[in-house]
């Protein structure tokens, strides 16, 4: 029985993996849904689907306040964990498990012993990420930051993109500003999630007008075969028929989103 603290993509992917391997999985998340940074409709569908899987249990809207080890019937060799959490309204939750997975985010180890970058004059933000300009230059000449430590996106492909720009600027002195064209990403859970561009909430907060195009998996014979209980794709279109965002939840969403990425890149 695995208790997962967190509700982002690491919690979703690892929770799915361990559940598929036969473990009971209990997820305790702070937000009101899993994958809270995804499009709300997609996140809500994913949360319901994830919670409906066999041996899966989901508790959202709780903040973990304490984790304690409890000796089982076999003594220390049979230790179990008790996780105590609390909701905003004061409601308490207690969950027991054999193992604990913390999936509440990542911080760079820029303050680790032997790697104190601030001692070298390199500026970091409040979360420890290196501060960079649009060319990925840090505050000290000759220092560049790419990948997770730069704090822009926490994806492998964004790190590759930044590394390419850093080489152009540091080695070839091109003075190129890094660009992130849509930055498609995927969540390899069950169901899968694929996303590109803005969500509806982001567009609404920015005051951008848009229209929604939507297709259900069930509207296509193959889609209905792959996902008989739902799944959909939605495209957010702005003025001039520009694709502002696309979000897919269902089988092979991680593959389907690349079609959108190619279309947007081609104009």
Residues of the chain within CATH 3.50.50.60 domain(s) are: 2-102
Mean pLDDT by 10 residues, the chain (267 residues): 96 96 96 96 96 94 94 68 95 96 89 78 91 94 93 90 95 92 89 95 96 92 80 92 93 92 75
Q: Specify the CATH number for 2-102; select among 3.50.50.60, 1.10.3720.10, 3.40.640.10, 3.40.50.720.
A: 3.50.50.60
Instruction: Report the pLDDT value the prediction gives residue 60, as an integer from 0 to 100.
Output: 97
Instruction: Report the pLDDT value the prediction gives residue 267, as an integer from 0 to 100.
Output: 60
Architecture of domain 185-265: 2-Layer Sandwich (3.30)
Instruction: Report the pLDDT value the prediction gives residue 263, as an integer from 0 to 100.
Output: 79
Listing DSSP states for the chain in one string gives: -EEEE--SHHHHHHHHHHHHTT--EEEEESSSSSSTTS-HHHHHHHHHHHHTSTTEEEEESEEEEEEEEEEETTEEEEEEEEEEEEETTS-EEEEEESEEEE-S-----TTSTT--GGGGT--B-TTSPBP--TT-B-SSTT-B--GGGGTS---HHHHHHHHHHHHHHHTS---PPP--SS--EEE-SSS-EEEEE--HHHHHHTT---EEEEEEGGGSHHHHHH-TT--EEEEEE-GGG-EEEEEEESTTHHHHHHHHHHHHHT-
Instruction: Report the pLDDT value the prediction gives residue 87, as an integer from 0 to 100.
Output: 96
Instruction: Report the pLDDT value the prediction gives residue 110, as an integer from 0 to 100.
Output: 84
């Amino acid at each position: 029985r695995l208790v997962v603290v967190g509700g982002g993509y690491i919690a979703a992917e690892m929770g799915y993996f361990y559940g598929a391997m036969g473990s009971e999985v209990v997820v305790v998340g702070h937000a009101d849904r899993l994958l809270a940074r995804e499009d709300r409709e997609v996140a809500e569908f994913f949360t319901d689907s994830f919670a409906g899987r066999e041996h899966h249990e989901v508790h959202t809207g709780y903040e973990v306040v304490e984790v304690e080890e409890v000796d089982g019937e076999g003594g220390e060799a049979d230790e179990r964990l008790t996780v105590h959490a609390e909701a905003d309204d004061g409601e308490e939750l207690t969950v027991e498990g054999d193992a604990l997975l913390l999936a509440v985010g990542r911080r760079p180890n820029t303050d680790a012993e032997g790697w104190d970058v601030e001692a070298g004059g390199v500026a970091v933000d409040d979360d420890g990420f290196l501060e960079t300009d649009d060319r990925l230059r840090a505050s000290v000449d000759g220092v560049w930051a790419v990948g997770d430590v730069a704090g822009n996106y926490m994806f492998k492909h964004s790190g590759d993109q930044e590394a390419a720009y850093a080489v152009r600027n540091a080695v070839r002195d091109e003075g190129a500003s890094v660009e992130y064209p849509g930055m498609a990403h995927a969540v390899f859970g069950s169901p899968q999630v694929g996303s590109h561009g803005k969500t509806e909430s982001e567009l609404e907060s920015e005051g951008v007008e848009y229209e929604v195009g939507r297709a259900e998996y069930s509207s296509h014979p193959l889609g209905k075969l792959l996902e008989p209980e739902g799944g959909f794709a939605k495209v957010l279109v702005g003025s001039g028929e520009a694709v502002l965002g696309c979000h897919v939840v269902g089988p092979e969403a991680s593959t389907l989103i690349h079609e959108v990425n190619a279309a947007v890149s081609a104009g």
